[in-house]
Each structure stands twice: as C-alpha cells, then as structure tokens.
Amino acid sequence: MTIFNDKTGSPDEEKEMQQLKDGVAKAKTRLQEGREMPIADEVDEKIKAKRKDKKR
C-alpha cells in the first residue's frame, strides 16, 4: 500500500512509515492484552525492509 503526497503526487514515504508504525503499536498493544496478532511481526518486517532500502 503506497500513500501518495496530496500536493506533489509522489509517494509519501514518511506518512507510509508512520502508518506502519501505528499499526505495529496497535498490534503490540493487542498482543499485550492477550489477543493474538501475527500481523505485527509481518508489519515489523516491512518496516525493517524499508529502512534497509533507504540505507542503500
């Protein structure tokens, strides 16, 4: 899911990263409450992959 900047029309990576981080935070909260959320690890992996891409 790519989020585009409304003004420039280019992909808005900062908004996208923030949404992913929010998703991880929500998922981890659910895990702490005892609800299973395997998606949290998946999203975490996506964030790590994006960071690696940016470092190149």
State the pTM of this model: 0.38
Q: How many residues does the chain have?
A: 56
Q: What is the pLDDT of residues 43-55, one digit of tens each?
A: 787 888 888 877 6
pLDDT band per the 50, 70, 90 thresholds, residue 2: low
Domain ranges of the chain: 13-55
Distance CA 49, CA 43 (A): 10
Interaxial angle between packed helices 39-55 and 13-32, expressed in degrees from 0 to 180 and rounded to the nearest 10: 150
pLDDT at residue number 37: 53
From CA 22, how far away is CA 20, in angstroms rounded?
5
Specify the pLDDT at position 16. 82
Instruction: Give 4-45 pLDDT, tens digit per residue.
Output: 666 766 777 788 888 888 888 887 787 777 665 566 677 787
DSSP 5: P
What gap in Å lies between CA 4 and CA 52, rounded to an integer? 21
